[in-house]
Amino acid sequence: MNWLTPELIEIVIAVLKAVVILLAVVVCGALLSFVERRLLGWWQDRYGPNRVGPFGMFQIAADMLKMFFKEDWTPPFADKVIFTLAPVIGMGALLTAFVIIPITPTWGVADLNIGILFFFAMAGLSVYAVLFAGWSSNNKFALLGALRASAQTVSYEVFLALALMGIVAQVGSFNMRDIVDYQAENLWFIIPQFFGFCTFFIAGVAVTHRHPFDQPEAEQELADGYHIEYAGMKWGMFFVGEYIGIVTISALLVTLFFGGWHGPFGILPQIPFIWFALKTCFFIMLFILLRASIPRPRYDQVMAFSWKFCLPLTLINLLVTGAVVLAAAQ
Amino acid sequence: MTADTVLSIPPYTADDQDVVVELNSRFGAESLTLQATRTGMPVIWVAREKLIAVLTCLRNLPRPFVMLYDLHGVDERLRTQRRGLPDADFTVFYHLMSIERNSDVMIKVALAEGDLNLPSVTSIWPNANWYEREVWDMYGIYFSGHPHLTRIMMPPTWEGHPLRKDYPARATEFDPFSLNLAKHQLEEEAARFKPEDWGMKRRGENEDYMFLNLGPNHPSAHGAFRIILQLDGEEIIDCVPEVGYHHRGAEKMAERQSWHSFIPYTDRIDYLGGVMNNLPYVLAVEKLAGIKVPDRVDFIRVMLAEFFRINSHLLFLGTYIQDVGAMTPVFFTFTDRQRAYKVIEAITGFRMHPAWYRIGGVAHDLPCGWDGLVREFVEWLPKRLDEYEKAALKNSILKGRTVGVAAYNTKEALEWGVTGSGLRATGLDFDLRKARPYSGYQHFDFEVPLAHNGDAYDRCIIRVEEMRQSLRIIEQCLKNMPEGPYKADHPLTTPPPKERTLQHIETLITHFLQVSWGPVMPANEAFQMIEATKGINSYYLTSDGSTMSYRTRIRTPSFPHLQQIPAVIRGSMVADLIAYLGSIDFVMADVDR
């Protein structure tokens, strides 16, 4: 049994943990489609899916069955390779970004010392899903959606990164675990970095293309925009990808601004996972509530809001944080 | 010269002869033939050579006829009773409206079968464009000088002109329809949009334009409506609305139905309007028959019509907010509509299409307990309206999307034939219920909401306020519902009075004929316009002394509203177009008939 070294066991355990987290995130993403519909139904004075299984719980299974057996149609006029690649990126990018998130002190996929930067890289990649889908579909509505997506991404990624630089400056590290530990010792970042939180949240919604930043798919205008030509599992991957995006962004918000697995005021440190899950669920709900409650601004208004309001706000926030950090160091 | 300067609308004068005097002094009495009708306006025949001069004169008179309210044709070849009128195989009529006089005039031109030519009046009223296209489509009358005279309702491949009397009205009169691949491809090719046909360029100085085909199946097109956009990025350079996908030939059907059995067809013109559509039709038929209805009938009709106005506006409100991206309110407004339907169903027995008004009355008396139901609704809705206003209409994103979007002023509105909330949003106080009261509206106390910017937001706010006013009217019906019969005592009412049929054989025979053939309306013409849910809706009926209408012209508000789209939306973004479409409040059944 000399091949069973402690290192190997550690590796196997780490891989197993990673697989469990992967599955959990994907299942969460898929379940969210049911949760969202039930919540929307609740807020909108109607039932939502409640027929399949107890409380309609098996709706998700029915949907998946339907999706798997649907004809996986690729339009003859599409660019096949890119057309197939787009949903893979759409689901993969933000799923991969989840690796940097420390769920509990002992659970987490990768403890990268460039944690936040890795997230930025993946968020930057995720726009290619929309861009590729829109371009390769060879459909005018899809193209307009892709155009909107690229313009929106260019505007929002700028301050998506800048919004977190205040945290990085205060902690002095890009590592997520360092950031969580720092919050446990000091204040949660929601207080010192409130403006950073606001802008990061807005940019996070924009990255996931959720309402009101669903410009690329804007149903009322572009009739589903970039994924208009997709069907079956390819469409399903975009669909689940969007929910995985929500899970990832919510988990990030919790980790970066709400103390990760810690409870408020250090209460009940025995249940780190519960704290993490509760806080993440809260933000997921917030995403859905946003969709239920507000109209969609026009696409140029979205741009103007980004460049004229959010960007200056993040820059001021960064400047003030920098000054405070400098003053504290002296 | 425009209605911008109008401060108040004078009281309505039916058969206002001023304009006849003015035209006589200008053109001489010998060149005009007056026709006596029950349309409530002077009907003047002029020769084709004088048409443009007369119409230009009317447009430029002091207190001008600013609006081309309607323009259509009649195939006169099968008429039997038109004594004293100029010989005509076909007639084209121009119905003009003056806001400053608050009166109308109708100009008619007689045409011979071999020479169906008329000068186009698009240079006098821009909205003549679609009307002339429809007359060409339906009758084959050619308008010289028209910018784009093509079919509008029928597909471009269509043969024949459907409203001609020699054109069959029923499917059984045709060969069975079949669609093979070649025909399919031919039709598809014919529907392809060619920018050159419309004088559009494919590329500008520095850019290629994208031609985006929005519809006929698009979530925000509110029905089978196609609009082709010429885009530079997301900016709309120009656009071409295309209608006709919902055309059922209601006007042709009217010529094959008895006066009574056409009532259910009217329900389906503006399918959100329900009995509101019956109203102008039965009022016009009653004018032909000379029936005066009891007060109770007026009150019942007004109450139900206002219920449907609320119902239509609630649907508008929900979908409008949804069109600018908020998904939730539409579910709430549909809950409210359900409440309204509860009352409507209890009273009429149907929901969307009750077909409940009758010639000379309504189908039944109000049921026991109707007042409780109505009161429940009247108490329910105001709170909800306040909530919508607070939660959705004061939302800054919604305002950002709609304030200043797709705005037009009173002058433009009148030029394009815009009526209803779209017109009142520009600040012109013209509501037929006040300006030309019909069906007893003069008895009610309500206000006409106005706005001043004429943009997408104002059109919405006005409709919300109109719902409150409709509730006021319903409340007054509730308090003051007169006692009495629900049907006029007149032999031409439908179904005819039956009480005495088992006592005299003569009454029984008459009753039998009235029921089996339907009533025979005296040969004449009648006209009635009403303030319907979406603007002014009117029925212009020509009777040739038969059990069926000789010609039924249905003028609907949505038709001119859609025609106006390019003039309003040029230079805006795609998202603005969607907000604008939502704010027009149209249904395609109302456009295409």
Q: How far apart are CA B63 and CA B386, in angstroms?
A: 41
Partner residue facing B331 (CB), from A46, A298, A300: A46
The CA distances from residue B108 to A267, B60, B560, in Å, are 88, 19, 21
Which pLDDT does position B527 carry in this prediction? 92
Interface of A to B at Cβ within 8 Å reads: 40, 43-46, 140-141, 144, 147-148, 211-212, 218-223, 291-301
Cα separation values, B175 from B63, B358, B494, Å: 53, 36, 36
- The chain B residues in contact with chain A (CB within 8 A) are 210, 212-213, 218-220, 233-234, 321-328, 331-332, 335, 392, 395, 397-398, 400-401, 573-576, 578
Q: Which of B62, B64, B56, B68 is nearest to B106 (CA)?
A: B68
Backbone region of residue B190 per phi and psi (left: phi > 0; alpha: psi in -120 to 50; beta: other values): alpha
Q: Choose among A109, A113, A112, A105: nearest CA to A276.
A: A105
Across the interface, whether the CB atoms of A298 and B220 are under 8 A apart is answered no
Sheet hosting strand B536-543, strand order edge to edge: B524-531, B536-543, B549-555
> In this structure, which amino acid lies at residue A5?
T
For an interface test with B, the pick among A45, A296, A301 (most B C-beta atoms closer than 10 Å) comes out as: A296
Rounded Cα distance between B18 and B7, Å, is 21
Put simply, the answer to whether B325 touches A220 (Cβ < 8 Å) is: yes
pLDDT of A159 higher than 90: no
**Beta bridge partners of residue B45, listed in sequence order:** B33, B108
**Nearest-5° angle of CA B433, CA B436, CA B441?**
40
Q: Please report the sign of the dihedral spanned by the C-alpha atoms of residue A256, residue A257, residue A260, residue A262.
A: positive
Which whole-number Å values give the CA distances from B408 to A191, B404, B455, B586, in the listed order? 48, 9, 7, 17
Residue A81 one-letter amino acid: V
CA B140 to CA B146: how far, in whole Å? 14
pLDDT at B2: 45
Kindly list the averaged pLDDT for each block of 10 residues, start to end, along chain B of length 593.
56 82 84 86 90 90 89 90 85 91 90 90 91 92 90 88 89 87 90 82 80 84 87 87 90 90 91 90 92 91 93 92 88 91 92 90 90 92 91 88 88 90 89 89 90 89 92 91 88 80 84 87 91 92 90 92 91 89 90 88
- Considering the four listed CATH numbers 1.10.3720.10, 3.30.460.80, 3.90.105.20, 3.40.50.80, the one that applies to the domain covering B3-144 is 3.30.460.80
Question: Helix or strand or coil: residue B67?
Answer: strand
Residue bearing tokens 């006005």:
B462
- Mean model confidence pLDDT for chain A: 85
Tell me which of A42, A148, A209, A222 to substitute to probe the interface with B (most B C-beta atoms closer than 10 Å): A222
Rounded to 5 degrees, φ, ψ at B487 are -150, 145
Distance from the A87 Cα atom to the nearest Cα atom in chain B, whole angstroms: 24
Q: Do the strands B210-214 and B142-144 form a parallel or antiparallel pair, or are they unpaired?
A: unpaired
Interface ipTM above 0.85: no
Q: What are the residues whose beta carbons fall under 8 Å from the beta carbon of B346, sequence distance 6 or more? A: B367, B369, B370, B373
Cβ–Cβ under 8 Å, residues B126 and B146: no
| Listed residue (A117, A129, A299) closest to A222, CA to CA | A299
Distance in Å from the first CA to the final CA of chain B: 34
Q: Which of B212, B321, B576 sits opposite A295 (nearest CB)?
A: B321
Separation CA A151–CA A144 (nearest Å) = 11
Residue B331 C-alpha, separation from nearest chain A C-alpha, in angstroms: 6
Query: Three-class SS of residue B538?
Result: strand
Q: Give the global pTM.
A: 0.88
Dist. CA B514–CA B527, nearest whole Å: 23
- 8 Å CB contact of A223 and B219: yes
Reply yes or no: is the peptide bond before residue B219 cis, omega within 30 of 0.
no
CA–CA gap between residue A261 and residue A269 (Å, rounded): 8
A-chain residues near B323 (CB < 8 A): 220
Chain A residue closest to B577 (CA)?
A: A221
Chain B residues near residue A294 by CB distance under 8 angstroms: 325-326, 395, 397
Q: Which residues of chain B lie closer than 8 angstroms to A293, CB-CB?
A: 326, 328
**In the structure, what pLDDT confidence band is assigned to residue A13 with cuts at 50, 70 and 90?**
confident
At B124, give phi and psi (nearest 5°): -90, -50
- The reply to whether residue A298 touches residue B322, judged by beta carbons under 8 angstroms, is no
Q: Report the pLDDT value the prediction gives residue B3, as an integer from 0 to 100.
A: 45
Q: How is domain B250-556 classified at the architecture level of CATH?
A: Orthogonal Bundle (1.10)
Q: Compute the distance between CA of residue B63 and CA of residue B100 in angstroms, rounded to an integer.
A: 6
Q: Which two tokens stand for residue A102?
A: 């420390």
Calculated CA dihedral for residues B81, B82, B88, B93, nearest 10 degrees: -120
Q: Do B234 and A144 touch (CB under 8 A)?
A: yes
- Who's near A197: CB < 8 A, 6+ residues apart? A163, A189, A190, A253, A257
The residue in chain A having the minimum alpha-carbon distance to the alpha carbon of residue B334 is A45
Task: For residue B214, give how far its alpha carbon lies from the nearest alpha carbon of chain A (Å).
Answer: 9
Q: What percent of chain A has pLDDT over 70?
A: 98
Residues from chain B contacting residue A212 (CB–CB below 8 Å): 325, 397
- CA nearest A228 in B: which residue? B218
Query: Residue A1's pLDDT is what?
Result: 60
* Closest Cβ opposite residue B219 in set A219, A295, A301: A219
Asked if B541 and B526 count as a contact pair (C-beta separation under 8 A), the reply is yes
* B324 contacts on A by Cβ (under 8 Å): 220, 295-296
Taking CB atoms and an 8 Å limit, are B325 and A299 in contact across chains? no
The SS3 assignment for A74 reads: coil
CB B259 within 8 A of CB B493: no
| Average pLDDT of span A156-169 | 85
- Would you call B575 and A221 a contact, using CB atoms and an 8 Å cutoff? yes
Task: Give the whole-angstrom CA distance, residue A151 versus residue A169.
Answer: 29
Nearest to B328 among A43, A220, A222 (CB): A43
Q: In the beta sheet, which residues pair with residue B240?
A: B228
Secondary structure E strands in B120-173: 142-144
Q: In this complex, do A296 and B392 lie within 8 Å of one another by their Cβ atoms?
A: no
Neighbours of B349 (CB within 10 A): 12
Beta-bridged to residue B258, according to DSSP, are B548
End-to-end CA distance of chain A: 57
Residue in B219, B335, B400 nearest the CB of A301? B400
Which residues on B lie below 8 Å from A221 (Cβ)?
Answer: 220, 574-575, 578
Q: H-helix or E-strand containing B527?
A: strand B524-531
- Looking at residue A146, its amino acid is A
CA B152/CA B267 separation, integer angstroms? 23
Q: How confident is the model at residue A68 (pLDDT cuts 50, 70, 90)?
A: confident
Q: Quickly list H helices, chain A.
A: 6-43, 59-69, 80-97, 115-136, 140-171, 176-185, 194-207, 219-222, 232-257, 272-293, 299-305, 311-329
Interior angle at CA B116, CA B115 and CA B122, nearest 5? 135
Domain boundaries of chain A, sorted by first residue: 75-329
Which positions in chain B touch A151 (Cβ < 8 Å)? none
Do B520 and B264 touch, CB atoms closer than 8 A?
no
Q: What are phi and psi of B118, to 5 degrees?
A: -145, 150
Distance of CA B498 to the CA centre of its chain: 35
Q: What are phi and psi of B530, to 5 degrees?
A: -135, 160
pLDDT of residue B281: 93
- Strands B210-214 and B226-232 come out as antiparallel
The candidate with the shortest Cα–Cα distance to B271, out of B75, B566, B556, is B556
Most B CBs within 10 A among A219, A294, A301, A308, hence the mutation to make, goes to: A294
A-chain CB neighbours of B212 within 8 Å are 140-141, 144
Residue A20 backbone phi and psi in degrees, to 5: -60, -45
**Contact (CB<8Å) A297/B332:** no
**Structural domain spans, chain B:** 3-144, 250-556
